[in-house]
Structure 1
Amino acid sequence: MHKRLSLLLAAGVFSVGAANVAAAPQAKNIIFFLGDGMGPTAITAARIFGHGEAGLLNFERLERTARIKTYSNDFQTTDSAPSMGAYMTGVKINQDGISIKDARAIDPERDANGNRTIDKCAPNDGVIVPTILELAKAAGRAVGAVTTTELTHATPASTFSHVCHRDAAYSIARQIVPGGQGYNTALKDGVDVLMGGGRHHFTPYDKASNPKGRADGRDLVAEFAAQGYAVGRSRADMMSARPGRKFVGLYSADTHMDYSLARRPEQPTLSEMALKAIELLSNDPDGFFLMVEGGKIDHALHDNNAKNALADTVAFDEAIQAAIERMRQIDPGLENTLIVVTADHDHTMVLNGYPKRGSKVLDIVHDYATGEPKKDADGKTFTALVFGNGKLRPDLRADVDSAQAQADGYQQEAGVRTVYESHGGGDVKLYATGAGSAPFKGTMENTQVFHLMKAAAGL
């Protein structure tokens, strides 16, 4: 696929930064939770949204905390792909690259159907680096990736594939189908559990019924089944899956999964997906590695839509709590299990304007003394949550009332007009508990998280 790509073995190749890794208990199991775009303000706002100012999200109760720097190899403000790749490989990666070092991404070429399907690297460019999921698989452990985005999206893709551009989703898809052309052989007999949306990247093109389908005509869903996978398209399919067989669930035909506030009943919740993944993976006596992404947090923030971002952060938190409770049943005291919760990057959302304690975080700001709506310098009302940039920056501001501000689809205003709201370049938070969690502290490079997980698991 790429010219001059070399697979670098884990033994000592990327040991820089590992010097600070303290001796740690062996974590037979690792669950890595990634809240896409869940920056510090999103956490604060979701806490107030769900539990009030004095409350806590469940993951905020975890005993180990750290501050994570997020810049990529070439940008101050990172894209999701290099940030997740840094967590998974321990290497700083260029913008848009999926677990591939020193690749200069080129937009995928369009096929005859108009879809961008063909991955391209610059000539003689790119070095594949092993992911922690691949290392866990090589060590004989079960592995899985669960997301509310398309399964081929940047975060899950960075655990199990290697391409020069994150948008080469069709190339990413074929890398996870055992036995087929383009398969990533570092995955051995295959990823044991895969769940997300984006079924069109796995099914053949049809002008009427599947216009975003594969131009190569391959039915990767059928190929999964031929390789012994149980295949699910709905919550019911997932719930009927049983340990002892690999499972792939693709719960949306041609896009990501739904926001939690608008979830169709045929789609499982993130909590249900995480618990089912644990049920299927924990059957392996050697242990497992599982990545769980709350990916729709990021999508809502890009759309300047705080309510869905906060609701999906709460849903993500519920999935974390459900998983921890289940693991405490399997592994009391988490003596053999490491839990890590973090984000890949921040966004430009801020909490502003001195809202009174006890106010609804999605509401407009009210005057502390009179309780009347507070006005800006132009005499207009404004919301407590606003964005630094995004689509909603009117030339002339208009009043917004409480009912508008708290509606599910309301889009908060932005200071700078852009096509869509961008990521923020600030540090993010990390929380950890269980075996090998003690070294997660202070301000850390995102690449160091890989080394700490690798050391804790003895990989």
Structure 2
Amino acid sequence: MKQITKLSFVTIATAFLSACGNSDKESDVTELTVPEAQAQSAWYQDAQQNVELASERTVNHQPGAAKNVILFVGDGMGISTITAARILEGQMQGGSGEEHRLSFEKLPFSGLVKTYNTNQQTPDSAGTMTALMTGVKSKAGVLSVSEDVVRADCASSQGKELTTLAELAENSGKSTGIVTTARITHATPGAVYAKTPERNWEYSAPSGCKDIAAQLVEFAAGDGIDVAMGGGRRNFLPNNVTDIEGSSGKRTDGRNLVDEWKAKYPQGLYVQTQAEFDALSAGTSKVLGLFNSSHMQYEADRQNDIAGEPSLHEMTGKAIDLLSSNANGYFLMVEAGRIDHGHHAGSAYSALTDAVELSKAVKEAMEKTDPENTLIMVTADHSHVFTIAGYPTRGNPILGKVIGNDSSGQAESEPTLAGDDLPYTTVGYANGLGFADIGAATDADDRYGMPADAGRKDLSNIDTTQAGFHQEALVPLGSETHAAEDVAVFARGPGADLVTGTIEQNVLFHVMAHSAGLLP
């Protein structure tokens, strides 16, 4: 490796001016030295090391250089969610949090991704995942069909189906896997294998169209999806069948898709519990794991599951072990689906602890794969109206009430009070269930002068860091909404350098397909 001589900016400037023949300027330049205290600063040294490491990066974006591709999707994981989850994980590990990095923030390449749907400024998961899986943007609410279909119109979708990355991978001889903490028939995982004009047709569909659960079992590319793990058991069972946790199926067509899957893959294993999951061995060729009737538990609540269910990082590691037996490689999609649900409920605790679990899942994948032959990509389908506000002192609990600094820059001992003389949390939502009616006052001065009992709830004696607390919101809605700003993408491995800059979401499909050699 070439040795790079370290020069000060002034020395470089002097050499440049000399080369340009500007002797007058050259004579005025004096070389500066960095003070010892500055050079010994941990901030200075850490930044210098980061630049040196970045300068040593190598890239390989030759077609087909990636034997394996792993796509992680943090559903609803916007930039503010990443920031807050980073701080939370750091604080959970005993640090102040701000200087911490989630596992995927250590990946060498990153960029910004535009998420809008073709018919919506603020997108939904169906249209965004369609972009990730097919390479073209489409409407909100549709899965892997073109944008000119009419949502929920079966006839309009005929002949408008799009080829997915999973199909390309299967047809090239690779294995395929899907891991999610949501129902496996939900929008994000559904777009991997299903083609439908309505994301809600999870267990039934009009004549002429197939429901999403049926499309998973009937997936025809290659030898079918090899590993599928998540929730959504009810969508595979008839409504007269009760599952092992006491929940009834949803299907009204009489089909038991679990039995159909078992008949189609007699060598495969169907698992429903933590114990059955733990018993899976690397030699198993096909696995269908349905661990809950609906969505799987939030990571914070996982121990409450009746039959027991694996974590996202456990499912990720197991899926990699199972898929790695294919010498041709594999494509694996991993979704942290309940980040989104936590935000919709206005529960930052649920959303952020699931984001921390995603960080663990990515770490698991990083440790189990070789960056020379495996492209790992971490992104989100969309953001949420989740915000980090106030001026909390460094190290203040990210889920706590804002405690600021005094005039000398030292932390206060009591929470900062808002204009209504009440404390407030660092994180909150622009809309959702946490809205508090502040009464009929319309003038801003009157509003801020209103007594506490006419406005927000007094949080003085409430522990806002606990699981049961739901943050305040500005606009009253039955469910907090998605947001429209860009999301991040992080990558490592062959083709990772192609995700830099600000790009359209559908470009990520092309990066993955190019890197794995799946396109002609």
Bin for the TM-score computed over the shorter chain = 0.7 to 0.9
Task: Specify the alignment match of 1:100 in structure 2.
Answer: 145
- Distance apart, 1:239 and its partner CA: 2.0
How far is the alpha carbon of 1:105 from its aligned partner? Answer: 4.9
Percent of aligned pairs with the same amino acid: 40
CA-CA distance at 1:125 after TM superposition: 5.9
Alpha-carbon distance between aligned partners in 2 of 1:210 and 1:354, rounded to the nearest angstrom: 47
The residue aligned with 1:313 is 355
Runs of 4+ residues over 6 Å off in structure 1: none
Q: Distance in 1 between matches of 2:64 and 2:255?
A: 44
The residue number in structure 2 matching 1:249 is 289
Q: Which residue of 2 aligns with 1:234?
A: 273
Output the aligned Cα RMSD: 1.7
Residues 25 and 336 of structure 1 are in contact (CA less than 8 Å); yes or no, is this contact kept in structure 2? no
Q: For 1:22 and 1:146, locate their aligned partners in 2 and report how far apart those are by CA, in whole Å.
A: 26
Partner of residue 338 from structure 1, selected from 354, 359, 375: 375
State the TM-score, normalized to the length of structure 2: 0.77
For structure 1, the 5+ residue unaligned runs are 1-20, 108-119, 178-182
Alpha-carbon distance between aligned partners in 1 of 2:158 and 2:359, rounded to the nearest angstrom: 39
Q: Give a deviation string over 1:366-400, Cα, whole Å, max 9, x none.
A: 23223222111122211100101101111121211
Query: For residues 241 and 176 of structure 2, what CA distance do their matches in structure 1 show?
Result: 35
Structure 1 length-normalised TM: 0.87
Q: How does 1:234-383 map to 2 (within 5 A)?
A: 234-242=273-281, 243-253=283-293, 255-264=294-303, 266-327=308-369, 331=370, 334-369=371-406, 370-383=412-425
Please tell me whether the aligned partners of residues 63 and 517 of structure 2 are also in contact (alpha carbons under 8 angstroms): no
Q: Deviations over 1:123-163 (max 9, x none)?
A: 46661111111100010110010000001001100101101
Query: Which residue number in structure 1 is paired with residue 166 of structure 2?
Result: 133
SS of the aligned residue for 1:393 comes to coil
Q: In structure 2, give the amino acid aligned to 1:238.
A: F
Residue of structure 2 in register with 1:50 after alignment:
89
Larger Rg over CA atoms: 2
| CA distance in structure 2 between the partners assigned to 1:175 and 1:411 by the alignment | 37
1:245 Cα deviation from its structure 2 partner: 2.0
Is 1:148 paired with 2:181?
A: yes
Distance 1:207 1:444 in 2: 47
Alpha-carbon distance in structure 2 between the residues aligned to 1:401 and 1:38:
30
Q: 8 Å contact 2:110–2:500 — kept in the other structure?
A: yes
Q: Structure 1: how far apart are the matches of 2:285 and 2:64?
A: 30
Match of 2:56 in 1: none
Q: Which amino acid aligns with 2:240?
A: D
What are the within-5 Å matches in structure 2 for residues 76-115 of structure 1? 76-107=121-152
AA in 1 matched with 2:377: V
Displacement of 1:210 in angstroms is 4.8
Contact 1:78-1:423 at 8 Å conserved across structures:
yes
SS at match of 1:176: helix
Shift of 1:401: 3.1
Contact 2:134 2:163 in 1 (8 A): yes
Question: Do the aligned partners of residues 106 and 68 (structure 1) sit closer, same or farther apart at CA in structure 2, a change above 3 Å counting?
Answer: closer
**Which runs of 5 or more structure 2 residues have no equivalent in the other structure?**
1-59, 91-96, 204-210, 407-411, 438-454
Show the counterpart of 1:385.
Answer: 427
In the alignment, the residues of structure 2 paired with residue 364 and residue 126 of structure 1 have an alpha-carbon distance, to the nearest angstrom, of 54
Q: Matches of 1:224 and 1:246 in 2, distance apart? A: 10
Matching residue within 485, 490, 509 for 1:426:
485
Deviations 1:287-314 (A, max 9, x none): 0000001111000000110011111100
Which secondary structure does the structure 2 equivalent of 1:59 belong to? helix
Q: Is the 8 A contact 1:146 1:194 kept in 2?
A: yes
Residues 191-237 of structure 1: CA distance to partner in whole angstroms, max 9, x if unpaired?
00000001000011128765452101111111111122210001221
2:506 partner SS? helix
